[in-house]
Chain A
Amino acid sequence: MSDYKFTSVEQMPPLAFSLESTRKLQTGSWRHVRPVYQDRTSPCEVGCPAGENIPLYFQLVREKKYEEAWHKILEDNPLPGVTGRVCYHPCEGACNRTGYDEPVAVHLIERFIAERNFSNKLLPEPAGSRKSENVAVIGSGPAGLSCAYQLTRRGYRVVIYEADHEAGGMLRYGIPDYRLPKNVLDKEIADIERIGVEIRVDSRIGGNVAWSELEKYDAVFVAIGAMKSRKLDVPGEDMKGVYTGVEFLRELNTGSAPKLGRNVMVVGGGNTAIDAARSAVRLGKKATILYRRTRAEMPAVPEEIEEAEKEGVRFEFLVAPASVVGVRGKVTGVELVRMKLAEPDESGRRRPVTVKGSNFSLRADTVISAVGEEPDLSFLPYSFLKKGVRLFVDDDYSTGVPGIFAGGDAATNPNGTVVNAIRSGKEAACSIDEFLGWRAKSNGAAPDVVKPERVNTFYFPHEKRTSVPRMSVEKSKSSFREVNRTLSEAQAVAEAERCFSCGTCLHCDVCMTFCPDVAISRNEEGDYVIDYEHCKGCGICVAECPREAMTLVPEGSREVEQEVEAA
């Protein structure tokens, strides 16, 4: 305005505005902090043992790119149809939405994506170049499948040795059809085979296949699971009518269910116990779960406990079997003793102690013991380090014997869950890759997780979490058909819309809209570009970002210098 001379009122504009562009005012020189885009880790990614990139594949679901979403999951987990059904979804427990209304139903969306790609033969491209090394995997449960899949994607040739007649381990022999239909498992195993994993069934190492056969491999991953039931350790346990949970479920899953009496007593509080009890109900029996602590301490997934209850499974808490009672070698009842909870033990749960003189008996025709499983390590030719009943492994899944790694329930799995087995397989594959000299050690820096208070909830209206579509209880308790159903497309997209997408930019344009200097724009690829000649560093974009996908860094800091160099 200074070089323009108004000589009269009439020449003046009604509003005071500069007659020239303000672009030449390089307000960026005022800046002492600069906003930068950053990908931060969402709590669900950390919560997911398999490390699935949940915000990214949710975004693909919102864009209805279901195949890409599937590929995104497959990077971390080759079994989304399985985990979408049976995972205890710790990701949801970590969800930042929990404190706002309800966590996003991640597992239902994962299942939807798997279902959407059920007849899809198009697998993601392998991530690594072809390599000359061969790796053997013992066991085709979730840990073995996960490890074999990850190594194959990295270019290794992998052979899985499976002692049973079919692949899948506990997924096949331990989980009943009403929770995980066999065709879902078959499909995902077939996908894994299709990328080049060879599965040799009926091949028991230490049985029909000699341990020495493994010597021709460059590395071995032991993932034999925990298939041996722990004993009840009470008199009468070997009577007719007493089964272990693993035995019972295996027979059920191979089509030859054992004959059960009318009253079935299931001892234990884990998922095997619940599976056994709900299966017994489906066979028309009265099932009762006997557990030595209270409901709060049950290791089974809470939803499963609720389902069991709905279907008529009864619970006796704070009881432990003292003996199995029978006539002529056949079970007629159990003698129980009352328990009470004392101080917490090393698992953090309160230790149950017997109440003296509180013994009583219940009628029973069948007793199923499901008090925990352990690995059968008798096939190993030389002594490995152990931790309790399991194989000892280091943080990198190495056993101490060079080239031999172990994971899943046989080694580390803290809670015997499918997803933790998948994680161990994936992480062990990275270690094997490193061991074979192909992969640099990761720096192991702790991820920078978005905290709930950093989500700008102003942008998110309260929305109810979708509920699991399920078969009616009346129908479900008399059939082994799958109880829970898959979300409809509309439900899945709506549920994905609830995701805050913590730390992952969704190109929502909030930063661009709020920038008071119009210093943010989109380039041809649609990515944001900050014009640092005009950005004053006010930080409004960072404060407004709904999901903390931006941050401010001091000018002159290492991050800024690196960025300037890169540009």
Chain B
Amino acid sequence: MKSTKSGNGNNGGLLHPSVDKVLVIEGTHAASYAVKLARVQVIAAYPITPQTSVVEKLSEIVSAHELDARFIRVESEHSAMACCIGSSISGARAFTATSSQGLALMHELLHWSAGSRLPIVMVNVNRAMAPPWSIYVDHNDSLSQRDTGWLQFYAESNQEVMDTVLQAYKIAERVSLPVMINLDAFVLSHTSEPVAIPKQEVVDHFLPPRKASFRVDPSDPRAFGALIGPEAYMEMRYKLFRAMEESRSVIRDVDSEFGETFGRNYGGLVEEYRTSDAEIVLITSATAVSTARIAVDEMRSLGFPVGLLKLRVFRPFPLDEIRSLAAHVKKIGVLDRNISFGATGMIYQEAKAVLYNSEVRPPLFGFIAGLGGRDITPETIKEIFSHLMNHEEPESETIWVGLRTEATDPTVPQFSRHDKKKEGV
């Protein structure tokens, strides 16, 4: 499963013949340019920090007639998603973007769009939920929506944001399900990186216009999302379940087709990094992956047998990939940038669940770090690895890393307590 030509690990993709130009842009703008290249027809969004510049750029693109799309201003995220549903059901390619509370406000319609099997694509800039107010990154906003029927991708770099938006439309339209692409607030959204912008004709070839299998026709009115009785509801849910199951192979296929066309791909649902001979592997997602790559390299240079699994897709959950990883490692740590109150970190929960019926079940450690924008540094990752190396079994289900506390608490390991003297506070 290890990718040799990852868009993150190897920027050779910048010189690929598919590249039109290389721009140094923010993650939000990488999303905007991808939407333009995908020839989206309807954009409806409500501004919220740090998503705003995604649609701000798109409004400029549409008003300059660089993209033939309807840009609909709305009064809330709920309406934004309603507009996307309306336009998508009429056969159009629709896009929206939001963040945090905005995504929460959309919640009802997230069910609606998935239940209607509409291939809407949304960019969500991961921002911590309030209160207390925060504009900084964590993943509770999108992970709270895990049961709505949306596919969820987590991007590691601005290039991956762009590439995943292009892949997302292809996947969404093939499986008739909506796709959410998540990027970390500020760490990606407002940080500039070189991004290869592919040629329009190459994108057009990769992503032809949408062919909707059904669409609203005003001359033949039908009721959509109609009431159905107990004799059919369960079957409809089963169809949605099947579509999500089948999306696993579609994601892998589209990613490898993307690789053939554009010269870089992302390993499908996960990317393994230095895992083949690893004994201890950390699972994490989004920008923490980049940081973890550095930590893994440093620890490898010191001879520690560590590796990394990048969880690129959270829905559908990469069941096979995690089981096959577990088959050959001794311990697994999961770094969650989220917390499900009353339970644990959500990736940890899910990883544990998929391993329960597995023959090989190495000990699994659940770490919580980086909430509300607290930095996850290479030191944070190395702390986690050293904890993994020094413990045979997890002492508690949840281990909070970098918490500012003086209390003795089994969920907070001694080593990671915030040291006031060291920081000179």
Contact = CB atoms under 8 A, between A and B. Distances in A.
Interface of A: 1, 6, 8-9, 12-18, 20-23, 25, 518
B226 A17 contact: yes
Given A12-B232, A518-B218, A17 B239 contact: no
Nearest to A517: B221
A5 to B, nearest CB: 9
Nearest to B73: A458
17 contacts: A1-B228, A8-B235, A12-B232, A12-B235, A13-B214, A14-B239, A15-B224, A15-B225, A16-B115, A16-B225, A16-B236, A17-B224, A18-B223, A18-B226, A20-B222, A21-B221, A518-B218
Contacts of A8: 235
B301 interface: no
A17 B223 contact: yes
Contacts of A15: 116-117, 214, 224-225
Interface of B: 115-117, 176, 213-214, 218, 220-226, 228, 231-232, 235-236, 238-239, 243
A16 B220 contact: no
Nearest to B228: A16
B235 A1 contact: no
B176 A14 contact: yes
A6 B222 contact: no
B109 to A, nearest CB: 15
Given A1-B226, A14-B117, A6 B221 contact: no
A17 B226 CA distance: 6
Contacts of A25: 223
A21 B222 contact: yes
A21 B226 CA distance: 13
A9 B222 CA distance: 21
A32 to B, nearest CB: 22
Nearest to A512: B218
Contact of B213 (A9, A12, A14, A518): A14
B116 to A, nearest CB: 5
B221 A22 contact: yes
Given A14-B213, A14-B239, A15-B116, A21 B224 contact: no
Contacts of B117: 14-15
B221 A12 contact: no
A28 to B, nearest CB: 13
Contacts of B224: 15-17
B315 to A, nearest CB: 18
A52 to B, nearest CB: 35
B96 to A, nearest CB: 20
A17 B239 CA distance: 15
Contacts of B223: 17-18, 22, 25
Which of B117, B176, B225, B226 has most A Cβ within 10 Å?
B226
B84 to A, nearest CB: 15
B221 A9 contact: no
B235 A6 contact: yes
Contacts of A518: 218, 221
A506 to B, nearest CB: 20
A6 B232 contact: yes
Contact of B238 (A1, A9, A16): A9
A393 B379 CA distance: 96
Contacts of B221: 21-23, 518
A385 B3 CA distance: 104
A21 B117 CA distance: 21
A16 to B, nearest CB: 5
Contacts of A18: 222-223, 226
A1 B222 CA distance: 11
A12 B236 contact: yes
Which of A16, A18, A25, A518 has most B Cβ within 10 Å?
A16
B176 A22 contact: no
